[in-house]
Structure 1
Amino acid sequence: MTTSAPTIAEQVATLTEGLAARAPAEVLAPFARERADLDAGGLPAGIPTPGAPMPDGKLLDVRGEPTTLALARAGRAAVVVFYRGAWCPYCNLALRAYQQQLVPELSALGIALVAVSPQKPDGSLSMRETNELTYTVVSDPGNQVAGQLGILTAPTDAARGSQAALGVDVAGLNADGTDTLPMPTAVLVDAGGTIRWIDVHPNYATRSEPAEILAAVAAL
């Protein structure tokens, strides 16, 4: 990993400044309140701990073909990251950072990187192509895997209104027609399918940093 690369937190700070300059304050305010509430709520109860099996489900690849996490891993250890969708600017930022700062290191170790969201396959394809991602991007219709991990949330009513004002229809973009979303989460899974490390971020403007993920990989 390039040590001079900006952290995700630093990039988020820049992104936040840019959003504040472009979008009306009354549209952004509900998002800020939502993030503050998510911070106050903390981690949900029941998140699996290291040593638990990694759940799986009936997923879809970017072409809409059936797949699973097990197939995506192909017997390898993997870093599995859950994100909200291609419409989320924080997700685009984070997945680009993972491409630049994680892929070279993980590839050298034979470790897969898999990104999972509840959006339709065309959203997964858009995410991969727009950000020039070389790793696997899959759809989790109905948040099957994220639900088993206990990391689900949904926008507040006020946030839904702001999303609509920005032209974002999460329910229309999600494969199951709901606006249920995963909390941004990174999970390190060993070759046997066991969780070795998990990092859940209720506040969607924060993410697991590449350096933190690589430290977990080194411990594995």
Structure 2
Amino acid sequence: MTLQATLDAFRADFKAGKPPFNAPAHIHPIMERATAELIASGAAQRALKVGDKAPLFSLKNADGELVSSAQLLAKGPLVLTFYRGVWCPYCNMELEALQAFLPTLKATGAQLVAVSPQTAANSRKSTRITELEFPILSDPHNDVAAAFGLRFELPDYLIELYKGFGNNLPLINDDPSWTLPMPARYVIGQDGVIRYAEVNPDYTQRPEPSDMLDAIKR
């Protein structure tokens, strides 16, 4: 099953309220409204795209060690995936798919890292849940996401819904701002130029890991 088919099946079960889900029906139009508004804002079209120069960054991994994009690019092309956090099941399924694809990526010489605004403790939780063998970097305040044009503010009505879910983003991210990155995946060449870019304001839609192979091999 493809990654997107897995996500679609999860979304259908969630909306239908199948076990283990017990989400009230009224929440779905609220979440869909927020997604539709983010799509309509055109934010995804303003994010960095193929041919743009990727900003350099240094972020800490789950063990508190500083990791720089320059060091990673010295080893090979860099695959960079931005995700919302350990609380997002769609993100976790994408990380699992990337983990399964990791041997193929390693064979190309590419480096893979995930970036989220969550704290190191939550990144360690992500690693345990999805059994990752690639690093998760913490992006405080979504500053690196902003440099790629991915950061957005949640609308007030969605914040209230998230609070009801127990998704306390200020606690999860150690940041009071209630911002998130749009899910995105980039391939950056060793020259620092973006070779592949997939940005989707609909968090239920993710590209297949194999979609970026041609860009890596170029």
TM-score of the alignment, normalized to the shorter chain, above 0.5: yes
The answer (yes or no) to whether the contact 2:75–2:109 under 8 Å persists in 1 is: no
Specify the alignment match of 1:85 in structure 2: 85
State the secondary structure of the residue aligned to 1:193. coil
Report the Cα offset of residue 45 of structure 1. Answer: 4.8
Report the Cα offset of residue 124 of structure 1. Answer: 1.2
- The alignment-based identity, stated in percent, is 33
Amino acid in the other structure paired with 2:4: A
Query: Whole-Å Cα distance in 2 between the matches of residues 187 and 60 of structure 1?
Result: 19
Q: Does 1:7 align with 2:7?
A: no
Extract unaligned runs of 5+ from structure 2: none
Matches within 5 A, 1:197-216: 197-216=196-215
Specify the alignment match of 2:176 in structure 1: 177
Amino acid in the other structure paired with 1:206: Q
Specify the alignment match of 1:3 in structure 2: none
> Where does structure 1 differ by over 6 angstroms across 4 or more consecutive aligned residues?
none
Amino acid in the other structure paired with 2:164: A
Query: Whole-Å Cα distance in 2 between the matches of residues 44 and 131 of structure 1?
Result: 27
Report the Cα offset of residue 199 of structure 1. Answer: 1.2
Specify the alignment match of 1:196 in structure 2: 195
Amino acid in the other structure paired with 1:190: G
Matches within 5 A, 1:54-69: 54-69=54-69
Query: Whole-Å Cα distance in 1 between the matches of residues 129 and 79 of structure 2?
Result: 21
The answer (yes or no) to whether the contact 2:4–2:207 under 8 Å persists in 1 is: no
Report the Cα offset of residue 68 of structure 1. Answer: 2.2
The answer (yes or no) to whether the contact 1:119–1:141 under 8 Å persists in 2 is: yes
Matches within 5 A, 1:82-161: 82-100=82-100, 102-161=101-160
Moved more, 121-130 or 61-70: 61-70
Among 11, 19, 22, which residue is 1:16 paired with?
11
Matches within 5 A, 1:38-57: 38-57=38-57
The answer (yes or no) to whether the contact 1:83–1:117 under 8 Å persists in 2 is: yes
State the secondary structure of the residue aligned to 1:197. strand
Query: Whole-Å Cα distance in 2 between the matches of residues 161 and 180 of structure 1?
Result: 14
Query: Whole-Å Cα distance in 2 between the matches of residues 217 and 157 of structure 1?
Result: 39
Amino acid in the other structure paired with 1:30: I
The answer (yes or no) to whether the contact 2:75–2:111 under 8 Å persists in 1 is: no
With over 3 angstroms needed to count, the CA separation of the structure-2 counterparts of 1:178 and 1:124, relative to structure 1, is: same
The answer (yes or no) to whether the contact 1:72–1:136 under 8 Å persists in 2 is: no
State the secondary structure of the residue aligned to 2:99. helix
**Count of aligned pairs:** 213
Report the Cα offset of residue 44 of structure 1. Answer: 3.7
Moved more, 126-135 or 39-48: 39-48
Query: Whole-Å Cα distance in 2 between the matches of residues 37 and 217 of structure 1?
Result: 33
Amino acid in the other structure paired with 1:9: Q
Query: Whole-Å Cα distance in 1 between the matches of residues 50 and 88 of structure 2?
Result: 29
Q: Given the two structures, how large is their TM-score scaled by the length of structure 2? A: 0.89
Q: Given the two structures, how large is their TM-score scaled by the length of structure 1? A: 0.88
Query: Whole-Å Cα distance in 2 between the matches of residues 87 and 178 of structure 1?
Result: 17
The answer (yes or no) to whether the contact 2:152–2:179 under 8 Å persists in 1 is: yes
Cα deviation digits, residues 86-139 of structure 1 (max 9, x gap): 111110011111111x21211111111110011111111111111001112111
The answer (yes or no) to whether the contact 1:43–1:200 under 8 Å persists in 2 is: no
Extract unaligned runs of 5+ from structure 1: 1-5
Query: Whole-Å Cα distance in 2 between the matches of residues 175 and 69 of structure 1?
Result: 23
RMSD: 1.8
With over 3 angstroms needed to count, the CA separation of the structure-2 counterparts of 1:215 and 1:58, relative to structure 1, is: closer
